[in-house]
């Protein structure tokens, strides 16, 4: 027989089993109700999501039917809008650039009026107007202070410069190479085409200044009137700087100092109003019939000349010892009081030991390109080289080196005048063959010590 303990144990297990069955039977409806509630909530969320999606689609469709201006911008529309704004800005920049070009051209047309206004201002500062007699004297000062030598003429005929002969394919737009001793044209490329000449102008400026025989030790002050208002070019000669006329002339020829050249012209007898006519009068006296000057620095593109005319100017400038010396001076120090300024020659060929340069001048503005004139020696002969409108920072120096190599390789005797193969009558039937007068010899003023 089992003990009472086992009977109570079996009874307790039965009660537990019965209670579990009862609990499960009672909990089944509850769990079912909970599951139904969860399913109902999920169904409601899906329904709401579908309705929201449908409403968004309908809203987008309605917006697509409206004008683009009122529609909500998408990524594609935003990118197109940015591209359109960039295009509008580019067109605006182009218009601004065109307006600036037009404005510059208008400014160039008013250069002469500006120079006259500056002259009046400087004259008012001196409390007197230009003396008419001084102006009349200035107009002929270039010719009056010089004499002509019959044996000093450059044999450049119209046909020689008209017959282009460029065997070197030079980078310069105009070029002319002349054997000064015989007057033969060795190379000619667009030599009669008038072009802006930039700072080559300063050769004529120096010649006219020396023709006036003013004291070279006279102190001249740089003023606001000497500041370039056309190109706004930089200068280390600040207003208030005081230098002698000789120092200003050296800086103008050696390092192409614009304020120095302008100050020299401003202190010419009669001022700028007399100086510019004197430049043009001297050009006519030298036979430079295609040359025009409107200011003394070369910053204006209205200063124009041809390679042929500039060869005449170089030949005439050779007779001024100061022009020869200052234009080929490698470097110079200028004491301006509290400090000393260092200036170097703008012509790199001056520092080249292989060149024997007697006279030179460089020039550059955007309208003129890079320009160079040289009087040098090849095989003991003096040769004039004129290069205009070379577009490239060192193209004019490269052209000069190519010309030198060509002359040394060919030899002078093997070269011929380009016009020798073309009859002058066929090129210019109405022009008679003849020589062009080119040189006026400067009388040496005692004050200068030339």
Catalytic residue among 118, 202, 315, 361: 202
Residues in the chain: 450
Catalytic annotation on 199?
yes
The β-bridge relationship of strands 146-148 and 357-365 is unpaired
Shortest CA distance to 190 belongs to which of 201, 200, 202, 175? 175
Is position 332 annotated as part of the catalytic site? no
Any idea what DSSP says for residue 73? P
Contact in structure between 327 and 253 (CB atoms under 8 Å): yes
The catalytic position among 122, 146, 199, 255 is 199
Q: Has 86 been annotated as catalytic?
A: no
Name the 3-class secondary structure at 313: helix
- Answer whether 348's CB lies under 8 Å from 397's CB: yes
Handedness of CA 166, 253, 215, 444 (dihedral sign): negative
The catalytically annotated residue of 157, 256, 300, 305 is 256
Helix (H, G, I), strand (E, B) or coil at 12: helix
CA dist., res. 131 & res. 365, Å (int): 34
What's the DSSP call for residue 66? S
CA 213 to chain centroid: 35
Cβ atoms of 211 and 146 within 8 Å: the answer is yes
What amino acid positions are annotated as catalytic residues?
199, 202, 256
């Amino acid at each position: 027989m089992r003990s009472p303990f086992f009977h109570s144990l079996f009874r307790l297990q039965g009660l537990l089993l019965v209670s579990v069955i009862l609990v499960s039977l009672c909990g089944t409806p509850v769990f079912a109700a909970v599951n139904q509630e969860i399913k109902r909530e999920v169904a409601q969320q899906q329904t709401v999501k579908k309705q929201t999606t449908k409403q968004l689609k309908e809203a987008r469709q309605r917006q697509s039917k409206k004008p683009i201006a009122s529609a909500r911008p998408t990524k594609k529309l935003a990118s197109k809008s940015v591209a359109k704004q960039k295009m509008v800005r580019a067109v605006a920049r182009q218009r601004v650039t065109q307006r600036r070009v037009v404005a510059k051209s208008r400014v160039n047309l008013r250069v002469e009026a500006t120079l006259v206004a500056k002259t009046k201002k400087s004259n008012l500062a001196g409390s007197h107007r230009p003396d008419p007699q001084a102006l009349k004297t200035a107009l002929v000062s270039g010719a009056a202070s010089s004499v002509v030598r019959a044996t000093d003429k450059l044999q450049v005929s119209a046909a020689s410069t008209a017959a282009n002969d460029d065997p070197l394919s030079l980078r310069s737009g105009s070029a002319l190479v002349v054997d000064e001793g015989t007057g033969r044209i060795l190379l000619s490329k667009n030599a009669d085409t008038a072009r802006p000449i930039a700072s080559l102008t300063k050769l004529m400026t120096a010649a006219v200044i020396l023709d006036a025989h003013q004291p070279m030790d006279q102190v001249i002050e740089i003023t606001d009137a000497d500041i370039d208002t056309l190109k706004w070019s930089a200068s280390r000669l600040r207003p208030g700087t005081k230098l002698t006329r000789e120092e200003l002339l050296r800086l103008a020829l050696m390092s192409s100092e614009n304020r120095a050249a302008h100050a020299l012209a401003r202190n010419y007898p009669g001022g700028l109003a007399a100086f510019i006519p004197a430049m043009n009068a001297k050009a006519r006296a030298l036979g430079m019939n295609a040359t025009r000057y409107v200011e003394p620095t070369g910053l204006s593109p209205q200063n124009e000349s041809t390679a042929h005319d500039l060869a005449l100017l170089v030949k005439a400038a050779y007779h001024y010892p100061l022009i020869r010396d200052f234009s080929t001076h490698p470097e110079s120090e200028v004491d301006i009081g509290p400090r000393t300024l260092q200036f170097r020659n703008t012509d790199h060929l001056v520092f080249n030991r292989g060149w024997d340069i007697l006279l030179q001048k460089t020039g550059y503005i955007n309208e003129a390109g890079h320009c160079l004139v040289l009087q040098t020696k090849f095989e003991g002969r003096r040769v004039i080289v004129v290069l205009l409108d070379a577009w490239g920072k060192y193209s004019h120096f490269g052209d000069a080196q190519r010309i030198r190599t060509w002359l040394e390789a060919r030899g002078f005797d093997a070269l011929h005048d380009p016009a020798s193969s073309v009859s002058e009558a066929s090129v210019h039937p109405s022009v008679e063959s003849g020589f062009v007068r080119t040189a006026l010899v400067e009388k040496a003023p005692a004050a200068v010590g030339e």
